[in-house]
Amino acid sequence: MKDRNYTHSIQIDSNKCIGCSRCMRVCSTKAIRIVDGHARIQPERCVDCGECFRACPQRAIYAKDDGLTSLPPGHHTIALVPSVFIGQFPPGYSATQVLDAVRQVGFDEVFEVEHAVDFMKRAYSAYAESHLTRPLISSYCPAVVRLIQVQYPALTGQIMRLKAPHDIASLFLRKSRERRNGAPEDDAPEKISIYYITPCAAKSVAASAPVGEEKSFIDGTINMTTVFNLALKILRGQKETMDRKSVADMSPDSVCWSLSGTEKKYFPGRSLAIDGMDNVIEFLEKLELGQITGIDFLEMRACDQGCAGGILCPGNRFLTVERLEKRRERLRMLKEEHRGTVENSLLEREEELHAHSGVGPVYPRDGLLLDEDMAKALLKLQRIDRLLTYLPGFDCGACGAPECRCLAEDIVKGKATISHCVFVQRVMEKNYKLSPEQSFAVIEKVWGKNRLDKYRE
Amino acid sequence: MRIEYHIEGGDFSAAGGASSAVRKTLKQFNIAPLLVRRIAVVLYEAEMNVVAHAYHGTMTVDIRPTGIYVVIEDSGPGIEDIDKAMQEGFSTATDEVRQMGFGAGMGLPNIRKNCDEMTLTSTPGVGTRLEIQVNF
């Protein structure tokens, strides 16, 4: 089985893109090429990690969300806010205040995602007992899940088949409006829409095109930057401060779940927390070779510092981590003041949630495949090797591909020609195989029609 | 399609390079991911044997539409008793090598378990030749 749903949140605005190729060079899965003067994403390879978004000096790369305007009128709307959102604000604004500001942005209700983490913690222990594959890889970060599908197909079976906390939170919000027999509560609104305030592009895709599920429990996503701007405006206009929470409504360290290092503590045995795309890739390489033994669980986050480093988080990731750690301490204090009790209503529905917390198997994607047919693929590979002996090998990127090897692959796939290489061009011109006009045309094909205008007299 | 890799004995820090390169190549084919992984494990064990026991060696990989054929040849101390070497848990690895987490005596048995055909020949004092075949 193969997963061929290549929906993506990361998009390139060709009107803003100047074809500088910075994104192409930073892409971990070599998914970007320059065509007609603009960066273009190969959908089968992209994992929505957002490294290109960070590198773009033109802000031409954006994360597509559903947006506030898509909130359906007449619905009871709920914003699912991850704790990391609260970490974007200076400590002067309390969590209660920040969440209320989100409500004022245009929702009927606000719910903090990390309430579901207390459920996840229990689910992990149960999962560890019933699934004996080791090491299991966390399904929390959707960019990591997609990276494994594209680059490490042999490891897809090791991804934990559990929903993410925001899905569980969404499920709870729906269930809590039903009676135990499934009938709606008397005061339940007829239609509810649950929107997730997302810190990254990958989480948006996880909602619109979930892996291992037919449909997500999330109705839509809104980029965190959008909500941040509106919420901050509201907070700045407020004179009086609000009352703070007086009881801990979730266990203290739940607020740090999206960061690096908390989740791993809840899987029994030896576990590691790995964050940052490069670190994740380095480890998965070793894991796929069978060089890693004796590890039970891998918490992996595509972003450095976990979701605090999400591409849609406006604040500084280290300040965010500090703020969330402070919040954890405050919850710890509240918990102690109430003799160690936590009042998390989500856990009252634990059994119901448990029944729906699993997802289907995760299948590999075709990102690296040369050809379905083995013999044809072999011929293509031989051609790639032969081509590589002609190409200069220092990955200048002038052909519009990030590496000489990528150009060779593109050539055998019929997406480029050897004359795309500027070095080969020189030799061809010398041998009268290519006219200066022809190589001019090739450069324009990659870098755009007017790219060479400034050199004209 | 033939690819040849050099393996340096005693270079534990660079070990796994050859098997990693083969695995990357195989991922471009329509081969079941778990089979790719099995091959990677076989090649890694074979590569480690050269690193842990021999002076230097070569790994020649031949990929055909029907399967992968690998020959690992080294110059080194060779194997005195091949039957014994094939037993699980038997190892002549030095304490130094064992401290690095290798030499559990599972290398050759693991290779045999994961490949379709295997031929091991050795001349003590000269070197060892291991032929492996895994069918697609």
Count: domains in chain B = 1
- Assign A49 to helix, strand or coil: coil
Q: Using CA atoms, how far apart are residues A194 and A178, in angstroms rounded to an integer?
A: 16
| CA angle centred on A312, ends A347 and A73, rounded to 5° | 65
Interaxial angle between packed helices A436-447 and A422-430, expressed in degrees from 0 to 180 and rounded to the nearest 10? 170
Residue of B23, B29, B47 to mutate, testing the A interface (most A Cβ within 10 Å of its Cβ): B29
Give chain A positions within 8 Å (CB) of B36: 153-154
In 3D, which of B76, B7, B69, B1 has the Cα closest to residue B44?
B7
Q: CA A235, A236, A239, A240: dihedral to nearest 10 degrees?
A: 30
Question: What CATH number matches the domain at A68-121+161-255+307-355, 3.30.1420, 3.90.1200, 3.40.50, 2.40.50?
Answer: 3.40.50
Residue ranges of domains in chain A:
68-121+161-255+307-355, 370-457
User: Do β-strands A61-63 and A76-81 pair in parallel, antiparallel, or remain unpaired?
Assistant: unpaired
CB contact under 8 A, B27 and A153: yes
Whole-angstrom CA distances from A44 to A81, A198, A205, A228, B22 are 30, 23, 14, 32, 22
The single-letter code of the amino acid at B11 is D
CATH number of B26's domain = 3.30.565.10
- As a whole number, the mean pLDDT across chain B is 88
Contacts of B136 in chain A (CB under 8 A): 374
pLDDT values of chain A reduced to their tens digit, one per residue, 457 residues: 788 888 999 999 999 999 999 999 999 999 999 999 999 999 999 999 999 999 999 999 999 999 999 999 999 999 999 999 999 999 889 999 999 999 999 999 999 999 999 999 999 999 999 999 999 999 999 999 999 999 999 899 999 999 999 999 999 999 988 876 667 777 777 789 999 999 999 999 999 999 988 889 999 999 999 999 999 999 999 877 777 888 899 999 999 999 999 999 999 999 999 999 999 999 999 898 877 889 999 999 999 999 999 999 999 999 999 999 999 999 999 999 999 889 999 999 999 999 999 999 999 998 888 998 989 999 999 999 999 999 999 899 999 999 999 999 999 999 999 999 999 999 999 999 999 899 889 999 999 988 888 887 6
Low-confidence ranges of chain B (pLDDT < 70): 100-101, 104-105
Q: Classify B21 as helix, strand or coil.
A: helix
- Determine, for residues A289 and B1 on separate chains, whether the beta-carbon distance falls below 8 Å: no
What range does the domain containing B26 cover?
2-135
Q: For Cα atoms A14, A307, A305, give the angle at the middle one, nearest 5 degrees.
A: 110
A378–chain B Cβ distance below 8 A for any pair = yes
Q: Which two tokens stand for residue A284?
A: 């998965």
Q: Evaluate the omega torsion of the peptide bond into residue A199 and state whether it is cis, within 30 degrees of 0.
A: no
The per-residue pLDDT for range B45-71, each reduced to its tens digit, is: 899 889 988 999 999 999 998 999 999
Mutate to test the interface with B, among A288, A292, A387 (most CBs of B within 10 A): A288
